[in-house]
Amino acid sequence: MKKRLTLWRVLIFSLLSFTFSTAQIHTFRLNVFTPLPQLDFATFAVTNDLQGAPTVFSVEILPADELVIFEGSFEWKDVGEAGYTFFTKFRTRPFRSRVFFNNTLGSEIRIESSENNSNRITQALRKGKPTGNYILTLKLFKENGSPYIDPSTGQQFVTSAALEFLNPTQTLEILLPIPSTLQDVGQVIAKWTPVQGASKYFIKASLRRDNRTSLENALSSGQVLINNVEAKDPTGQPTTEINLRNLLTGAEWFGGQEVVFQVTAFVEGPSGGQSIFSNLVNFYLKDANTMAYMTLVGNIVSIMQSLPGGVIPQSLINDFISGALQITGIKRDDGSDMPISEVMALFNYLAQNPGERVVSATFNQ
């Protein structure tokens, strides 16, 4: 009797095992959350123990609790390119089928292997943020590595989707003020590119007291002047142009100081939305009474007066001396802006050695 019972249990277990092993996946779907906010390249770095990845897509593999493997690949087409090329791909270890999000990969769902196109990744990284278009393709496999066949098509389960970003260039760029320029104490007009889908823009500004301090460190650890204040127009709506002087929340600013600021756009979306950060821009507050500015003007006047008569009109020199004409910025030959510290050093040297370095001068009115 005992042997018969044991045999019966074995038969029941075998039948149950057979039933579970023949369950068929009927849903394999990739859902990308759109519109997507600005992302960084960590989104494409699928690896074990990667923390803090944003929620970008979900995958449905149903029914649940079947042992499966899937392979994912990103392809990239940069702006102006005709076709897509391989960017990166990965393959998971066996896991139980279910609905999950991309930031589950590498933690609950472990990565078995990955492969990268180093040349394309280098090209992409040089752009600072993802640009162009990406396609994510997923292929489903059984636990033993053989393709999982879709019973409705007779082909392997494959799903794909395009990643379309809110901002195609993946940048929130500050247009004004131009970096390293001199600005009036009472009016510093800030202007930046709009971000599609942004419901709010915030401004943060701090003092930089030492030019050896990076702009990033100055913004995060310097004396705060504007503490993430929302930029609004007179009607209370989000705006992309505003006078920073009207947003001061910390200490008052003064002529001669250097200020660093950044704009943050907030875009509603999955997992509470995303913040998109602009580049950092510095500027100097001018004051005709500051010693630095007076020294700069004095050096420029000395250089002008040392040039042959008639090259620089005397009226222009008088305007500099009286303060009627003020300097807002100086550019190099290539069009880039010269930091005020370099401007001071250059004109100080030229004022002392005009005959050695001033080759020619022209005045265009």
Over the stretch 146-168, which tens digit does the pLDDT of each residue have? Answer: 999 998 999 999 999 988 654 44
Structure tokens at 122: 């280098």
Tell me what pLDDT residue 170 has.
43
Burial class, 142, CB count within 10 angstroms (exposed 0-12 / middle 13-18 / buried 19+)? middle
Q: What is the arithmetic mean of pLDDT over 34-54?
A: 61
pLDDT tens by residue, 62-89? 999 999 999 999 998 876 678 899 988 9
* Predicted local confidence at residue 26, as pLDDT: 93
pLDDT at 13 over 70: no
Q: Crossing angle of helices 291-306/340-352, nearest 10°? A: 40
> Tokens 């600072």, residue?
128
Region 116-136: what's the mean pLDDT? 75
**Whether 263 contacts 203, CB under 8 Å:** yes
Interatomic CA distance for residues 11 and 218, integer angstroms: 73
Whether residue 349 has pLDDT greater than 60: yes
**CA distances (Å), 252 to each of 95, 185, 225, 288, in order?**
58, 10, 7, 18
Choice between 304 and 171, residue whose per-residue pLDDT is larger: 304
66-70, 248-252, 269-273, 303-307: segment of lowest average pLDDT: 269-273
Burial label for 206, CB within 10 Å (0-12, 13-18, 19+), is: buried
Q: In whole angstroms, what is the distance from residue 143 CA to residue 7 CA?
A: 29
Pairing of strands 274-277, 27-32: unpaired
Evaluate if residue 240 carries a pLDDT over 90.
yes
User: What pLDDT is attached to residue 10?
Assistant: 42
Distance CA 189, CA 195 (A): 19
- The answer to whether the beta carbons of residues 283 and 215 sit under 8 Å apart is no
Proportion of the chain above pLDDT 90, given as a percent: 33
